[in-house]
Every structure is written in structure tokens, then in C-alpha cells.
Amino acid sequence: MGPLAGLKVVEMAGIGPAPFCAMLLADMGAEVIRIDRLVASDIGIPVPPKFDLLNRNKRSIAIDLKSEQGKETVLGLIEKADILIEGFRPGVMERLGLGPDICLAKNSKLVYGRMTGWGQDGPLSQAAGHDLNYIALTGALNAMGRAGEVPAIPLNLVGDFAGGSLYLAMGILAAIYSVKNGGQGQVVDAAIVDGTANLLSLMYSYWQMGGWSLQRGTNIVDSGAPFYEVYETSDGRYITIAAVEKKFYLELLERIGLSAEELPKQGSAKDWPRLKQRLSELFKSKTQKEWCELLEGTDACFAPVLDIEECIAHPHNSFRKIHLEIDGVINPAPAPRFSHTPSEIRKTPSAIGEDTTAILADWGYNSEDIERLKREGVVNQ
């Protein structure tokens, strides 16, 4: 059933980080119902329900949020919930009559999770934005990429999902812990700019002690160091080397046939370009497969660069069952793993409103009320 079995979550349908946060809770056993509008939103890239993996393990109820009866229906569900998750622009939930004050008055133990890019307040709070904008403002984007080149875009992993979803999930569970220990419900304000800045804590440490340059591509873990780098192979593929610690670096050199005595010292940053050139030439002398045969599984801190399709078939990923095929669709498996209350994919994604009747019945509505709500157009199955 998962470690969160018994928790009831109401998720206001949206895109990106809020749905991903709700998926994490659902994977760990929470009962998540997604409040969809009667008509699908036109924002984001349309995804057929069966491939909409962020909505796995959830059920969908379609409600007219602009009607008074629709609002009361949502409040009725929230009254029975432990957690509410919403990812709208600040003020939208208030205008819908579903703001924190109203919801917490209905349910004093509710954990009200809010996901935004800029935060609930501040000069930019009402401006539109996406992951790339948020990580730009926090300094994260400027730190990624090679010297002399434009910053590298790290998909939308750093902002939306790392700085956003994961911080919201952590905050929600911390607030639930407080409630379970006799505390009151509260609002969890998760802003992507807050979370992303927090992710940079180690870089702030290095920078303030003089060990991190603001010049992109000149530091140990940003492509500056030759022993922490991506190298091209003779077949046009790529491999990664991350032999930061001296003992791992020395093992790498031994396995690829180089002598430390004949090379610049590992810690000599001024000699990194020369060392990188030497390693580049060497790694381009063999194919990716040949380097895998020589280095994979050793302490040289090595891995090949694989695409999504290739990584599914890799022996390590296959052994760990990192990918699961459910009804013909590949899913990254739930994470992390639990020894006694394992997470699982219990349900494939629902279409909008697919579970309306069942949700209302399970959450306390009688059949007459359900049929009335349908007849009046408040909900849709």
C-alpha cells in the first residue's frame, strides 16, 4: 500500500511541478484525486491520457469551478482531505473561493500546498514564467555550461522538479508530521526560486571561501576540470569521467594507460586545458563500447552517455527495475524504495472526469446528490 497509505490528497489540475509532486505522494500510497475543469486547459503540450505519467496512481473528477455549486463540491472534498495541492498563479485560488483562509476554516488540519515559480508575493509574483526563467534569476543557469558559451539548459529538471516539486513534497510531509503530532494545518508556500537557490547551498559555500569561480566552465563540476568531463569517442558517442578523488583519478589513469608522473598535477587548474586535450585525444581513440568494456564497473568513476531508449536496456537499470512497462507504456519506477511499505504503480492515468462518479461515492456523496450534480452540469463523468 505504500508508506503514505491512508492520506487523502486533493490536487487542483495543472501542469509541471504540482502534478509531479502529487504523483510522488500517490506512488507512495496516498489517495490522490485530481480536480479537473469540465473542459481541458489549452496550456502545455497536449498528452494523451495513457502517456500522461504525472497523473498515474490518481483518479480524476471534472467539476465546474466557476459555479457556486462546483465550489461547494470542491470544498466538500477538501473538508475530508489531509492535503490540498495547487499550482496556480497567486490569487487564482482566492478568486475561485478556495483560498487558504476558506479551506482551513473548513478543515483546520488541512495541509495547503502551493506551488509557484516566483512565490506568493514579491515584485515578480504576478508575472508569467517557466523553469528557465526561475533558474536564471537564482544563479543556477549562469553556472551551467562551458566557458565562452551560452549557459546550458538542463531540461526543466533543476527548477520545476528539483527546486519545485521535491521541496513542495518535503514541505507537505513535514507539515503532515506536525499535524499528526497535534499541530494545526498550515500553508506550504513552495516557490521554485526558493528551492533552486537552496539547491545551490554548496556552491555558495565554495564561492564565499574563494573556491568557486563565477566564470562558467572553470570549476571542478561545471566542465572546467578534465577529470569531471564528457568526452567524445571514436564512434561519435560520449562517455563521462568523474574521478574527482585522487585515488579514483589514479585508478583511471592506470586503466587507460597513462602515468601521473608524466601529466600535469590533478589540482593544477592552470594546466587543466592541456590535460583535457590529452584525455580528449585518448578517449577518441576507442569506441564507447570499448571504453565501457575497460572502465564500466571500476572505481574510475565512469559511465557511458545513453539516451532514454538505451538506458532502459542497460543491465544495471534492468536489474534494478528502474523502468516498468504498464499497459504498454514505459514508466520510470517509483522512488525512493521502502523495505516494508513499497511504493507501486497501482493505476494508469485517468482521462478528465473518468472517475467522477466513483470519487463522489467514495468520498461520501449519495447517489441522488451525484445524479443531481451531473444533471445540473456541476460535474461531468
Q: Is residue 188 part of a domain?
A: yes
CATH number of residue 363's parent domain: 3.40.50.10540
Sort 5 into a burial class: Cβ within 10 Å, 0-12 / 13-18 / 19+.
exposed
d(CA 321, CA 184): 40
Write the pLDDT tens digit of every residue in 326-352: 999 999 999 999 999 999 999 999 999
Sort 35 into a burial class: Cβ within 10 Å, 0-12 / 13-18 / 19+.
buried
288 and 334 assigned to the same domain: no
Q: Which of 195, 300, 288, 200 is nearest to 236 (CA)?
A: 288
Q: Is residue 208 part of a domain?
A: no
CATH number of residue 278's parent domain: 3.30.1540.10
Q: Is residue 246 part of a domain?
A: yes
Question: Residue 42: what pLDDT?
Answer: 63
Residue 327 annotated to the active site = no
178 and 125 assigned to the same domain: yes
d(CA 283, CA 287): 8
Q: Is residue 218 part of a domain?
A: no
Q: Is residue 245 part of a domain?
A: yes
d(CA 104, CA 101): 5
Q: Is residue 1 part of a domain?
A: no
Give 10-residue mean pLDDT values along the chain (381 residues): 96 96 98 92 77 97 96 97 97 97 98 98 97 98 96 97 98 98 98 98 97 96 97 98 98 97 94 96 98 98 97 97 96 97 96 96 94 95 88
Domain count along the chain: 2
46 and 192 assigned to the same domain: yes
Q: Is residue 369 part of a domain?
A: yes
Question: Residue 44: what pLDDT?
Answer: 66
Question: Residue 47: what pLDDT?
Answer: 84
133 and 168 assigned to the same domain: yes
Q: Are 380 and 371 in contact (CB under 8 A)?
A: no
Q: Which of 304, 334, 351 is the last residue of a domain?
A: 304
CA dihedral 131, 137, 143, 144 (to 10 degrees): 20
168 and 101 assigned to the same domain: yes
Question: Residue 194: what pLDDT?
Answer: 98
Our CA angle for 64, 108, 368, nearest 5°, is 40
Please report the DSSP string for 28-80 in residue order: TT-EEEEEE-SS----S----GGG-GGGTTEEEEEE-TTSHHHHHHHHHHHHT
Please report the DSSP string for 7-35 in residue order: -EEEEE--STHHHHHHHHHHHTT-EEEEE
Catalytic option among 27, 64, 82, 160: 160
361 and 300 assigned to the same domain: no
50 and 178 assigned to the same domain: yes
Residue 316 annotated to the active site = no
Q: Is residue 376 part of a domain?
A: yes
330 and 299 assigned to the same domain: no
Residue 258 domain boundaries: 228-232+238-304
Mean pLDDT score across all residues of the chain: 96
Question: Residue 39: what pLDDT?
Answer: 80
φ and ψ at 268, to 5 degrees?
-85, 90
What's the predicted TM-score (pTM) here?
0.95
